[in-house]
Amino acid sequence: MKVLIAAAGTAGHINPAISIANIIKEKEKDSKIIFLGTTRGLENDLVPRAGYELKTINAYGLSKKLSMDNIRKMKKTVGGIFEAKKIIKEFKPDIVIGTGGYICGAAVIAAKSCKVPVLLHESNAFPGKAVKMLASRSNTILVSFEEAVKKIPFCKNVVHTGTPVRIKKLNFSNTERLNIIKSLGLNETKPIVLVFGGSQGAQKINEAMCEIIEKKKNNEYQLVWAAGPKQFDIIKNDLSRKNININNINNCKIYPYIYNMEEIENISDLIVSRSGAMTITEIANLAKPSILIPLPNVSNNHQMYNARVLEKVGASVIIKNNELTSEGLNNTIKQIVLDKKKCEQMGKNALKISNENVEEKIYAEIKKLI
């Protein structure tokens, strides 16, 4: 099987694409897979790191404003279609797969002109502009959430499969869980709250967390907090000015980035985070209660739609970004994590939206098209 996968920009587009590539490689070891991206996005790091070849073309997201810069980008993007077409003619893929973002436009248009079948995957509950615009040109669109199916009316075959994620539920023994907690320097008797705001952190969440720590509001629970590489030093210096050593805070461990996220998510009692599609899927698969603070000002407000998927089944509490305060967040954390029955029920509710056999379903749809 020969596959061209278009994925560019953010980890939310690239990681599902890599997971799909891994599924194909696992099923058919002789498969040849190349990625199509730009020279600007995270694909330049994540794709080669995953062991796949990356080819780049010109592609830009376009603004509605008429400006010389936008006209130049439009010309380059049109040129990118011909670049993609050339790659397709040389590689001769059996299928072109896109996982969202502006790169998909050039890839899909080029694929259709070369009569190559197209499959798109949409991770968000509210489909992005690219997927909606390309729906009529796509043979199949796979979606992560049932809510997204009715929002894509122009594709004949929209299939609810879920999103493949690397973080899985781990059934730790009591001893294994205890060893992980001890390795963090935490207390096994107090509940653990995991806080993160995406790979780069989230300033608004970080500000609220700093106040919780400064006022020592987290005496009854413990924090494992990924502040983000760019914001960690800022937080460290701010706390230092208040005579707080970032490496020696009661009931709290702060990191720039958590590399063993699968372990930490599994041992946590509550997750506080943004509501990207991958995060929602992980929370559901792990059956964890959550407090979600959707990132505002993103396309179609899709993080709010994602969060509402969990809120609707009673698995999450949403706090709007502009309403987030340390006091409100602390009170919400305590209301959930100090009530074991509530915590357990919210976790069970999260499991209701979890999808089983995601990889098998996606692979089956790819094989159908080929």
Judgement on whether residues 342 and 229 belong to the same structural domain of the protein: yes
**Phi then psi dihedrals of residue 353, to 5 deg:** -100, 5
Task: Quote the tokens at residue 69.
Answer: 């810069």
Judgement on whether residues 234 and 97 belong to the same structural domain of the protein: no
Task: Quote the tokens at residue 13.
Answer: 């587009």
Q: What is the mean pLDDT of the chain?
A: 92
Judgement on whether residues 47 and 16 belong to the same structural domain of the protein: yes
Q: pLDDT, tens digit, for every residue of 24-64?
A: 999 999 999 999 999 888 899 999 999 999 999 987 665 56
Judgement on whether residues 251 and 309 belong to the same structural domain of the protein: yes
Q: Which of 365, 279, 281, 285 is nearest to 24 (CA)?
A: 365
SS3 content of the chain, % helix, strand, coil (to 5): 50, 15, 35
Task: Quote the tokens at residue 204.
Answer: 């608004």
| Non-local CB neighbours of 125 within 8 Å, separated by 6+ positions | 144, 145, 147, 148, 277, 280, 302, 305, 306, 308, 309
Judgement on whether residues 202 and 345 belong to the same structural domain of the protein: yes
From 95-99, 128-132, 147-151, 342-346, the region with the lowest mean pLDDT:
128-132
pTM of the predicted protein model = 0.86
Judge whether 72 lies within some domain. Answer: yes
**Does the pLDDT at position 222 exceed 90?**
yes
Judgement on whether residues 332 and 278 belong to the same structural domain of the protein: yes
Judgement on whether residues 35 and 119 belong to the same structural domain of the protein: yes
Burial of 322 per CB tally in 10 Å (0-12, 13-18, 19+) = exposed
Judge whether 168 lies within some domain. Answer: no
Band (201; pLDDT cuts 50, 70, 90): low
Tally the C-alpha atoms within 13 A of residue 361's C-alpha that lie toward its C-beta.
17
Judgement on whether residues 271 and 331 belong to the same structural domain of the protein: yes
Judgement on whether residues 21 and 159 belong to the same structural domain of the protein: yes
> Residue 206 is part of which domain span?
174-351
Q: In angstroms, rounded to a whole number, what is the distance separating the alpha carbons of residues 154 and 143?
A: 14
**In sequence order, what are the beta bridge partners of 272?**
195, 291
For residues 291 and 60, the model is more confident at 291
Judgement on whether residues 114 and 29 belong to the same structural domain of the protein: yes
Residue 62: per-residue pLDDT: 56
CATH of the domain at 327: 3.40.50.2000
Judgement on whether residues 229 and 153 belong to the same structural domain of the protein: no
Judge whether 169 lies within some domain. Answer: no
Band (197; pLDDT cuts 50, 70, 90): confident
Q: pLDDT, tens digit, for every residue of 324-358?
A: 999 999 999 999 999 999 999 999 999 999 999 99
Judge whether 98 lies within some domain. Answer: yes
| Non-local CB neighbours of 154 within 8 Å, separated by 6+ positions | 132, 135, 136
Judgement on whether residues 203 and 301 belong to the same structural domain of the protein: yes
For residues 230 and 353, the model is more confident at 353
**Does the pLDDT at position 69 exceed 70?**
no
Overall number of domains in the chain: 2
Q: In angstroms, rounded to a whole number, what is the distance separating the alpha carbons of residues 130 and 207?
A: 34
